[in-house]
Amino acid sequence: MYFSGGPLWSAPIHDATFVQRLVLRARRDVNQFGTSKRIIGMMSTVSEELLDVPLYYKLDGLCGVIHTTSPSFLTFRCAG
């Protein structure tokens, strides 16, 4: 059987408390880690994920199904 809608997660895939603590730590001293700005950006994006949405999808996978190129992540996030 071929299933093109997966993988599926039925619970949050991130620990919100850990993500929040990581962002606070990275913001406290931006020079502590060489990638603090990237950590803050990625974890801020993670913290914006909806906790009550049970389905997970990958943009490149969705675009592959309909044979089109993927828009940039920033463009996709800003659409709405």
Nearest to 48 by CA among 19, 69, 27: 19
pLDDT at 21: 92
Whether 68 shows a pLDDT value over 60: the answer reads yes
pLDDT at 34: 86
Which amino acid belongs to residue 78?
Answer: C
Which pLDDT tens digit goes with each residue over 5-54? 666 666 777 888 999 999 999 899 888 878 888 989 889 888 887 777 66
Structure tokens at 59: 């943009």
Q: Among the residues of 29-72, which ranges form H helices?
A: 36-47, 59-65
Does the pTM exceed 0.75?
no
CB 23, CB 40: distance < 8 Å: yes
Domain ranges of the chain: 16-78
CB 59, CB 73: distance < 8 Å: yes
